[in-house]
Amino acid sequence: MNLSLIWDIFTKILDICFVWIAFYYILKNVKNNIKMVLIVKGVILILIVKLLSDWLNLYTVGVILEYAIQWGPLAIIVIFQPEIRSVLESLGRTQLLGRHKILTVDEREKVVYEIMRSIEYFRKNRIGALIVIEREISLEEYIKNSTKVYADLSDSLLETIFFPNSPLHDGGVIIQGDRITCAGAVFKTSMNPNLSKRLGTRHRAALGIAEESDAIALVVSEETGRLSIAVDSNLHYNLEPDQFRMMLIDELKPKMEVFFEADESEGEDEE
């Protein structure tokens, strides 16, 4: 086997890897955008109907669908330009190796401790709050339009920010690592049609940021004091404090740590 053949095989493997990586990130962001999921489903349905029309020799339907397939991509780009732009922005904001430092176990415990102290205070006193924790996807788009804080995370600071009638009370707080980066952040609200109409702006904003990023959004209802977490395009509503705390701990764990823990538990089961 000569060097040119080895190089040819290497480039082909590299080419396939790049294509699969591109598909992975596109599908990952499409999955987190409900409107884009609907677009994909519609395209798949049109293709299935086109295949059936060819098989059954449905001439008129086939001609119409050919025009739809021919001009469909252009129509999708024009009609769904905001959604496509959102996906591309999400791809651009993604940091392959992580942008912020990975918290140690002690730092994570402190973050959970400070957040839970403030959450318990908000719950008991019926104070609404929205706390968003940044992970791999940058939230710089929201940080730049909010009030900068850049302070160490503490329950007293969170309670001050969300104190009723405070100028920053209605916005959200963004946490990067173990520091509060900003307050008064305004997020895009979710357009999920399955979301209960009883849920207010905070819950919709929490789900909205969870749909377009990998952030963890913590919500305390001002009316009921109920606790919720929005993550991975899902809203976990009305959690008990212990459930809320355990879910927060699990979501804050680095992916590699979760992977190793899963391997260890499987090994114990085998024994």
Tell me the average pLDDT across 136-157: 90
How high is the mean pLDDT of the chain? 82
Q: How does pLDDT run across 21-41, given as a tens digit for each residue?
A: 877 766 766 665 566 677 777
- Domains of the chain in start order, with CATH, are 3-93 (no CATH), 105-257 (3.40.1700.10)
CB 195 within 8 A of CB 207: yes
Q: Who's near 9: CB < 8 A, 6+ residues apart?
A: none
pLDDT of 198: 86
Please give the distance of CA 231 from its chain centroid, rounded to a whole number: 6
* Interatomic CA distance for residues 182 and 168, integer angstroms: 10
Choice between 133 and 268, residue whose per-residue pLDDT is larger: 133
Q: Tell me what percent of the residues of the chain surpass a pLDDT of 90.
A: 40
* Interatomic CA distance for residues 179 and 161, integer angstroms: 14
* Interatomic CA distance for residues 113 and 119, integer angstroms: 10
* Interatomic CA distance for residues 130 and 112, integer angstroms: 15
Three-state SS for 170? Answer: coil
pLDDT confidence bin for 88, thresholds 50/70/90: low
Tell me the average pLDDT across 167-187: 93
Tell me the average pLDDT across 103-129: 93
* Interatomic CA distance for residues 126 and 220, integer angstroms: 8
* Interatomic CA distance for residues 210 and 231, integer angstroms: 5
Q: Who's near 261: CB < 8 A, 6+ residues apart?
A: 253
Residue 187 has pLDDT above 70, yes or no: yes
* Interatomic CA distance for residues 141 and 185, integer angstroms: 10
* Interatomic CA distance for residues 87 and 261, integer angstroms: 32
* Interatomic CA distance for residues 132 and 135, integer angstroms: 10
3-class SS letters over 182-202? EEEECCCCCCCCCCCCCCCHH
Range scoring the smallest mean pLDDT among 83-87, 152-156, 226-230 = 83-87
pLDDT of 1: 58
Tell me the average pLDDT across 245-269: 67
CB 160 within 8 A of CB 168: no
Tell me the average pLDDT across 126-139: 92
Q: How does pLDDT run across 205-256, given as a tens digit for each residue?
A: 999 999 988 899 999 999 999 999 999 989 999 999 999 999 999 999 876 5
Q: Who's near 239: CB < 8 A, 6+ residues apart?
A: 226, 227, 228, 229, 247
How would DSSP label each residue in 145-158?
TSEEEEEE--HHHH
- Residue written as token pair 């493997």: 13
